[in-house]
Amino acid sequence: MEYLLNQVVNGVCQGAIYALMAIGYSVIVGVVGMVTFTYGEIMMIGAFGAFYSFQYFGNNLPLAILLAFSSSFLLGIVVYKVCYEKFFNAPRHISLLCTIGFSMLMKNLAQIVFGPETKPMINIIHNETFTLRLAGVAVDFKLLQIIVMLLVVFFAVSLTLFFNRTRWGVALRAVSQNKQAAYLMGINVRRTAMLGNCIGCGFGGIAGILLSIYYYAVSATIWGNFSMKAFSASVLGGLVDLRLSALGGLCMGLIENLGITVSSATFRDVFSFSFLILILIIRPQGFAAKKGSRV
Partner 1 sequence: MSQTMLKVENLTVYYGYINALSHVNIEVNEGEIITLIGGNGAGKTTTLMSISNLVEKAEGKVTFRTTDITRTQPDKIVKLGMSHVPEGRKIFPQLTVYENLIAGTFGQPKISKPRIAELVEENYVLFPRLKERAKQPGGSLSGGEQQMLAIARGLMMDPALIMLDEPSLGLAPIIVEEIFELIRKIRSRGKTVLLIEQNASMALSIADRGYVLETGRVTLTGTGRELLVNPEVKRAYLGV
Point out which residues bind partner 1 (CB under 8 A): 167, 170-171, 173-174, 177-178, 180-189, 291, 293-295
Q: What is the nearest approach in angstroms of partner 1 to the Cβ of residue 291?
A: 7
Nearer Cβ to partner 1 (129/178): 178
Residue closer to partner 1, measured from CB, 131 or 293: 293
CB 212 within 8 A of CB 218: yes
By beta-carbon proximity to partner 1, the closer residue of 184 and 282 is: 184
Name the minimum Å distance from CB 159 to partner 1. 16
- Give, in order, the Cα–Cα distances in Å from 273 to each of 35, 136, 224, 234, 249: 18, 35, 14, 13, 12
Phi and psi at residue 228, in whole multiples of 5°?
A: -65, -35
Smallest distance from the beta carbon of 21 to partner 1, in angstroms? 23
User: Which residues on neighbouring strands pair with residue 134, listed in sequence order?
Assistant: 137
DSSP-derived secondary structure for 108-143: HHHHHHT-SSPEE--SSS---EEEEEETTEEEEEEH
CA 22 from chain centre, in angstroms, equals 4
Of residues 129 and 285, the one with the C-beta less far from partner 1:
285
Least Å distance, CB 124 to partner 1, is 38
Q: Which helix (H) or strand (E) holds 218?
A: strand 217-218
- Rounded distance between C-alpha atoms, residue 71 and residue 48, angstroms: 9
Closest CB 171 distance from partner 1, rounded Å:
5
Inter-residue contact 149 to 16 (CB < 8 Å)? yes
Min dist. Cβ of residue 172 to partner 1 (A): 11
Pick between residue 127 and residue 178 the one whose CB is nearest to partner 1.
178
Minimum CB distance to partner 1, residue 178 (Å): 6
Nearer to partner 1, 31 or 187 (CB): 187
Report the alpha-carbon angle 4-6-11, nearest 5.
90
CB of 169 to partner 1, least distance (A): 9
User: 281 Cβ partners below 8 Å, 6+ apart?
Assistant: none
- Residue (173 or 283) nearer to partner 1, CB: 173
Helix axes 223-236, 39-57, angle to 10 degrees: 120
In the bound state with partner 1, the residue whose beta carbon lies nearer, of 166 and 263, is: 166
Amino acid letter, 53: S
